[in-house]
Structure 1
């Protein structure tokens, strides 16, 4: 077999299924190198895609019965015969067969190809991400021992630090501490450290009252403040400076990840609702419920008072603006940038939920519980440069690597259903601060989800989003063509479609979980994905079995909430499942016309 020309081996591989090609790779390093051909796996991605399956169904309906003899089999037989020295040379046969196959797949490939011009894609990794089994590994659960009772601590956010090939998950806990986990790398041999807690700061490190303002001695107060934040984008990691930013109500804590100590603290007039990505030396953008701020750590807390000052003077000044009608900003002042306080932008619709930097990093796009996407230019901040009307309530925004101009991808809710929207963006001129859309936006408000979309991210050549039903969906970059789906509540069942777990008394410990935030571990096509449910953090990978697992013993469970509470919780889950299925049956029967007038 090793004496066969590489071209012939590759041509034979085009007639095999993906599983057979993977088996072929195990023969030798020579076969592995040949069968990792990018064009081969790109064609396999096309052949096994939903769009290609739909096209074949349409053609089969239009063309009638398919001939019994497959023409490709005859071409392969003829190629093998000539390769053994009979009737001609192998290069001619391969050239003819390849030309025929290219003509047959050229148009479907052009219609489907999700890669942008000039974009380099690992199509083997892309195929793995589209079709390999999925498994979910939960990070080790942190605990707190208080009064001889071991109590679970929930995570209140999610951040990621890539350090020398190792991935470190960073999250604030409900007791005000900062916890770090090592998730390692999925392409390396299993390590006993993967998924385990690396280190954890003292309780009460994060507090709305600033450093030293709250300790674990006042556990009730600290716990309430950490629990009531409810902000998804509350963690931002600067890997260059080895710093992380944590938003706790109106306080922004800068934590040195080497020492797990507060290195700076800033207080804002309103509760922080979103943080942008921290990319040194680009300043951090901080969104509060009613304002937008630029936080530049290079200015020493933005040139204001000491890091541990509560900035009561500033808060009072903000209050005087709100109480004085003569100083209030109207929309004209907001658009003109002539507001009395020039170091922040006023928002007339509350609660920005997601912020990104573009062009390159000078343009700030803000999405939230308001009907438009807001655009600011950092050079002219706080002037509002433009808006993009959506009409939906948006909660997550990202961008696609289009070659000419960026495309914004946003997710949220429209009329009670999930909405996935794409907006091509360009600048009117190179030095202009205004931006506008160059093409008609793409809005998927029908097939995206029956419930609100919670988080959106780029994952290879696909878009990945989660909804409030616990579904994860991968779609093509057109925003509508489904690639695959998975429900995190079906774990550990590795299925692509959601199905009930059996009888109503088969309680699933993960039932009711939703992915509030999704974060790819790296930029590879088959990168693992971190997901945060609002309470715990998991790692979604493309493996048959989870990479790591940490069991919580019955003693820990009972010791934390009590035996009666455990029984009550289990009974509540069973009743919830029974009622949900009864509601599904009622909807099904209604669809048959049983309740029609």
Structure 2
């Protein structure tokens, strides 16, 4: 077989099941390359997709009358559905005509399902793994302070990712409830993934220095760090290696190379949201009642605090807390609560909208042009209260194009729609107590775009789609693109993946699932990112666990989803040379990192990952040996301390007894 032409081998491989194709990769390097053929895995992704399984199930239900089933199959194979001259030429050969009809129908179904856009490069082998292989959650090392016996865990109050020059997650940055900053190794190719590599002292962000004793500094820091509870409170600038942390009404700029606070900028109200930080674009800061642009190149000016007594009681006008002379630098909001701020590239093709989108507890999106800030450019009414905003660097596809009858003309219309330049605005939130996942088109094509300055366009059904029926029974907390899918988290602890149409399900699991608490010490497979082997993907989702520290507690939720691939890497606004440089992402690198409501950090991966497990087991083995010796020393210390305490108590009792006799 090895001497056959590659085209013949690929035809044979196409008849194999996914497990057999994976096993074929172990034969030799030549078959490894052929078994990784993108077209084969694209066909497998399509065959095992929810839409195709549903279509096959509806096409031949098990309980249907045989005569009716035959009639349905005949209707599906009507040659008129795919007009072509081939039918007239092969009219005398019904078998050949039926075969060509089936091939054309399958090609139309595949084109209708295809989640990729024109020019987008997708590794469908990795796509199949992420869609069907066993998933895993690896919890990062806990940040602890104090004696080991205390087992004190400092919860993370936010999270951000420092990306490498290649656009892949390298470090995970998080502020802790004690006012310190902790940095974890987040590189999937590192054997120290999940380990803490740097840590500051407590009270750094809370501005509680060493002039206070330890207990006071810790207590006051915890009160300050947990008072507001903003989700988007961390923004990392991967270019300048800086991070911004929002603590109450103070914005802290920290140099990640020295872990020192560079500047502190006060704001009139508690900060509730930070935008993406990407030098030299100014950072957008949202407070309870205002929006500001923070230029990192401008030195922070310390504002003198003026204390006065207001005769007649406090004012009800929240804007009175602002300096009236600073009106040009901020926008006052009529409703409180911006929760998510999205920056779109200013280099994209003009679509009639600005660069900044703001969503929150109010029921409309606010749109701004950075050049004319703080003037509001326009609004888009949603009706939902938004928790998270993100975007796809590809045009919005109307929902009816996905639901149309598969045919050659329908596939052509879908292809033309994907060729148009544009962006898709994605919003996750809550509508009347249920989860809401919404898509909005930002395109230069008026028929498929919304214009925030024109309220009439928000009624354009061809430019938006709102999934408020099947998304979730509880509020959606976070959403992010993941491969050719969207992943979002809800208030019940679920992580759900859907197609880019925001409605077709792909897979889901709950982070409180008891199956995730199983031990993985018995796993025996190779690392998925190796060049000669991979995790064997299966068509049915199986739950495995690679718990790093402790099993999940019940009732936990995912507050924030952080993609391990930089959003700028997916942008189609970069040059072709940059796209070619960053087009290939190593296998098993496109994971998602999560920050939970219990203040824990972890990474969700797919397939078996023994390199990580081996490294953890090796490090844990060394730590266990050292820990056993330390435990024996501590046990002797505790025994000695208990014996001395009993001796002193006996001596005290004897002294009190003797004092009773006047001695």
Query: With structure 1 as the length reference, what TM-score do the two structures score?
Result: 0.76
Q: Which residue of 2 aligns with 1:19?
A: 19
**Larger RCO (CA under 8 A, 6+ residues apart):** 2
- Return the alpha-carbon distance in structure 1 between the equivalents of residues 556 and 316 of structure 2: 46
Identify if the C-alpha distance between structure 1 residues 399 and 147 changes in structure 2 by more than 3 Å, giving closer, same or farther: closer
Answering whether residue 539 of structure 2 is matched by residue 536 of structure 1, we say: no
Q: Which runs of 5+ in 2 are unaligned?
A: 71-95, 348-353, 396-420, 521-539, 545-549, 567-584, 635-663
How far does residue 426 in structure 1 lie from its aligned partner after superposition? Answer: 3.9
How far does residue 456 in structure 1 lie from its aligned partner after superposition? Answer: 0.4
- Return the alpha-carbon distance in structure 2 between the equivalents of residues 195 and 421 of structure 1: 33
Provide the aligned C-alpha RMSD in A: 3.8
1:443-454 aligned at under 5 Å gives the runs 443-454=466-477
Greater C-alpha Rg: 2
Which digits, 9 at most, give the CA deviation of each residue in 1:299-331, with x for residues without a partner? 223xxx2xxx25436x99xx9xx95979889xx
- Return the alpha-carbon distance in structure 2 between the equivalents of residues 433 and 212 of structure 1: 50
1:182-197 aligned at under 5 Å gives the runs 182-185=185-188, 188=189, 191=191, 193-197=192-196
Answering whether residue 319 of structure 2 is matched by residue 296 of structure 1, we say: no
- Return the alpha-carbon distance in structure 2 between the equivalents of residues 255 and 359 of structure 1: 25
Q: Specify which of 423, 428, 436 is matched with residue 406 of structure 1.
A: 423
Report SS of the residue matched to 2:222: helix
Larger displacement relative to structure 2 (214-223 or 168-177): 214-223
Q: Specify which of 342, 345, 366 is matched with residue 356 of structure 1.
A: 342
How far does residue 513 in structure 1 lie from its aligned partner after superposition? Answer: 1.2
- Return the alpha-carbon distance in structure 2 between the equivalents of residues 326 and 446 of structure 1: 37
- Return the alpha-carbon distance in structure 2 between the equivalents of residues 323 and 355 of structure 1: 29
- Return the alpha-carbon distance in structure 2 between the equivalents of residues 433 and 487 of structure 1: 36
Identify if the C-alpha distance between structure 1 residues 37 and 339 changes in structure 2 by more than 3 Å, giving closer, same or farther: farther
Q: Which residue of 2 aligns with 1:70?
A: none
How far does residue 496 in structure 1 lie from its aligned partner after superposition? Answer: 5.0
Answering whether residue 119 of structure 2 is matched by residue 118 of structure 1, we say: yes
Q: Specify which of 166, 174, 180 is matched with residue 183 of structure 2.
A: 180
Q: Specify which of 327, 336, 345 is matched with residue 331 of structure 2.
A: 345
- Return the alpha-carbon distance in structure 1 between the equivalents of residues 318 and 437 of structure 2: 40
Identify if the C-alpha distance between structure 1 residues 342 and 410 changes in structure 2 by more than 3 Å, giving closer, same or farther: same
Q: Which residue of 2 aligns with 1:223?
A: 222
Which digits, 9 at most, give the CA deviation of each residue in 1:431-486, with x for residues without a partner? x9947556342111111111111110000110000011110000001111000001
Q: Which residue of 2 aligns with 1:563?
A: none
Q: Specify which of 469, 479, 485 is matched with residue 456 of structure 1.
A: 479
Q: Specify which of 365, 376, 387 is matched with residue 373 of structure 1.
A: 365
- Return the alpha-carbon distance in structure 2 between the equivalents of residues 211 and 363 of structure 1: 39
- Return the alpha-carbon distance in structure 1 between the equivalents of residues 498 and 232 of structure 2: 23
- Return the alpha-carbon distance in structure 2 between the equivalents of residues 19 and 264 of structure 1: 55
Identify if the C-alpha distance between structure 1 residues 298 and 428 changes in structure 2 by more than 3 Å, giving closer, same or farther: farther
Q: Specify which of 377, 382, 388 is matched with residue 385 of structure 1.
A: 377
Identify if the C-alpha distance between structure 1 residues 342 and 483 changes in structure 2 by more than 3 Å, giving closer, same or farther: same
How far does residue 34 in structure 1 lie from its aligned partner after superposition? Answer: 1.5
Report SS of the residue matched to 1:152: coil
How far does residue 250 in structure 1 lie from its aligned partner after superposition? Answer: 0.4
Report SS of the residue matched to 1:184: coil
How far does residue 96 in structure 1 lie from its aligned partner after superposition? Answer: 12
How far does residue 183 in structure 1 lie from its aligned partner after superposition? Answer: 2.5
Q: Which residue of 2 aligns with 1:248?
A: 247
1:512-531 aligned at under 5 Å gives the runs 512-522=555-565, 527-531=590-594
Report SS of the residue matched to 2:158: coil
Q: Which residue of 2 aligns with 1:484?
A: 507
Runs of 4+ in 1 over 6 A off after TM superposition: 95-101, 210-215, 324-329, 427-430, 550-556
- Return the alpha-carbon distance in structure 1 between the equivalents of residues 99 and 161 of structure 2: 45
- Return the alpha-carbon distance in structure 2 between the equivalents of residues 355 and 298 of structure 1: 21
How far does residue 347 in structure 1 lie from its aligned partner after superposition? Answer: 1.1
> Which structure: greater strand fraction?
1
Q: Which residue of 1 aligns with 2:644?
A: none
Which digits, 9 at most, give the CA deviation of each residue in 1:54-89, with x for residues without a partner? 11112224895899xxxxxxxxxxxxxxxxxxxxxx
Report SS of the residue matched to 1:57: helix
Q: Which residue of 2 aligns with 1:586?
A: none
- Return the alpha-carbon distance in structure 2 between the equivalents of residues 12 and 468 of structure 1: 46
CA contact (8 A) 1:391 1:414 kept: yes
1:37-116 aligned at under 5 Å gives the runs 37-61=37-61, 64=66, 102-116=103-117
- Return the alpha-carbon distance in structure 1 between the equivalents of residues 4 and 208 of structure 2: 70
Which digits, 9 at most, give the CA deviation of each residue in 1:102-125, with x for residues without a partner? 424111112211112222211111
CA contact (8 A) 2:142 2:154 kept: yes
Q: Which residue of 1 aligns with 2:78?
A: none
- Return the alpha-carbon distance in structure 1 between the equivalents of residues 289 and 213 of structure 2: 29
Query: With structure 2 as the length reference, what TM-score do the two structures score?
Result: 0.68
Report SS of the residue matched to 2:46: helix
CA contact (8 A) 2:337 2:361 kept: yes
Q: Which residue of 1 aligns with 2:524?
A: none
Which digits, 9 at most, give the CA deviation of each residue in 1:468-512, with x for residues without a partner? 11100000011110000011112146995999xxxxxxx964211
Report SS of the residue matched to 1:23: helix
- Return the alpha-carbon distance in structure 1 between the equivalents of residues 542 and 25 of structure 2: 30
- Return the alpha-carbon distance in structure 1 between the equivalents of residues 228 and 211 of structure 2: 17
Q: Which residue of 2 aligns with 1:284?
A: 283
Identify if the C-alpha distance between structure 1 residues 159 and 5 changes in structure 2 by more than 3 Å, giving closer, same or farther: same
CA contact (8 A) 1:428 1:434 kept: no
Q: Which residue of 2 aligns with 1:131?
A: 132
Which digits, 9 at most, give the CA deviation of each residue in 1:551-573, with x for residues without a partner? 899999xx9xxxxxxxxxxxxxx
Q: Specify which of 441, 444, 451 is matched with residue 464 of structure 2.
A: 441
How far does residue 219 in structure 1 lie from its aligned partner after superposition? Answer: 2.0
- Return the alpha-carbon distance in structure 1 between the equivalents of residues 318 and 159 of structure 2: 42
CA contact (8 A) 2:181 2:199 kept: yes
CA contact (8 A) 2:136 2:543 kept: no
CA contact (8 A) 1:135 1:492 kept: no
CA contact (8 A) 1:419 1:448 kept: yes
Report SS of the residue matched to 1:299: coil
